[in-house]
Amino acid sequence: MIGNRLELLSIHIPKTGGSSFQKSLQALYGEAAFQRLDFTVRERDGRSRMVATNRTSQEFLDTIAHRGQLPETVKVLHGHFHYEDAAKFFELQPEIKVLTWLRDPVRRIVSNYHYIISRFEQEIEHTALSRQLFKRLLKSQAEFAAHPRDTHLYPDYLRGRELEDYAFIGIIEEYDSELRRLAKILGVGDVPHFEVNKARQKAPALEDALEAALIALNEKNLEIYNRALKIKA
């Protein structure tokens, strides 16, 4: 278990405004108190181990591997990780505030689909052959959304803690008013507002048949989202 003096655990579910919120946390708490960490958990020889999902997170894990604790200045941990995984490796005190943001699951998967396509197009060599192969391999939105990683995204990220026990579950569609609600929960005057990747949040309108298919695929995510709306209300 990794010792720490964490006051806030911020779970960044992909495509739910986490990049903007990261800026807010950094401005509110200061760079020394903020730490970004993206990791997953892998089982090997009967033991669980943390696996960083990018180079920056790996470098940070390397610095704490032998120390066995986070730097004393770190009060906020934010990134792509599941709550249950964080609880496996960090000594989370009962008073710690755990928070996250949710987005309408159908809109989230559409946004993620178009974001990944745009990133892929930037990375591949733009020759006639590469464009042809890319179009042949490209999945439809329904095929993309059918992956178990996405159909159970919200339950997987938030498992291990009852929704009512989260200090804050923000609704991204109401971002401005939700930041004001969060400020009250944190006991601060206001939470600084930043907008990152705003243009990427726009996606084409859905045809009725596709929207119905995406709703069916996101049944578990919608259940979590609607529960969060009721808790907020």
Q: What is the pLDDT of residues 133-181, one digit of tens each?
A: 777 777 888 998 999 999 999 999 999 999 999 999 999 999 999 999 9
Angle of helix 208-217 relative to helix 105-123, nearest 10 degrees? 100
How much is the pLDDT for 215? 96
Mean pLDDT, rounded, of the chain: 90
**pLDDT, tens only, 103-139:** 999 999 999 888 888 877 776 666 777 767 777 777 8
pLDDT confidence bin for 73, thresholds 50/70/90: very high
Q: Above pLDDT 70, what percent of the chain?
A: 94
- pLDDT, position 201: 47
Report strand pairing: 97-102 vs 39-44. Answer: unpaired
Domain-embedded: residue 226 = no
Output the pLDDT for position 121: 72
The answer to whether residue 2 is domain-embedded is no
CA 151 to chain centre: 15
Higher pLDDT, 23 or 48: 23
Evaluate whether residue 88 is within a structural domain: yes
Instruction: Name the percent of the chain lying above pLDDT 90.
Output: 71
Q: Does residue 33 form part of some domain?
A: yes
Q: What is the mean pLDDT of residues 3-11?
A: 96
SS (H, E, C) 82-145: CHHHHHHHECCCCCCEEEEEECCHHHHHHHHHHHHHHHHHHHCCCCHHHHHHHHHHCCCHHHHH
Look at residue 115 and tell me if it is in a domain.
no
Q: Which domain holds residue 34?
A: 8-104+158-202
Q: What dihedral do alpha carbons 165, 157, 86, 14 form, nearest 10°? A: -120
Residue type, 101: W
Residue 85 within any structural domain of the chain: yes
Q: DSSP string spanning 207-226?
A: PHHHHHHHHHHTHHHHHHHH
pLDDT at res. 198: 61
Nearby residues of 188 by Cβ (< 8 Å), 6 or more positions away: 28
Confidence class of residue 44 from pLDDT cuts 50, 70 and 90?
confident
Residue 43 has pLDDT above 80, yes or no: yes
Tokens of 156: 């997987």
What's this model's pTM, rounded to 2 decimal places?
0.89
Domain count, the chain: 1
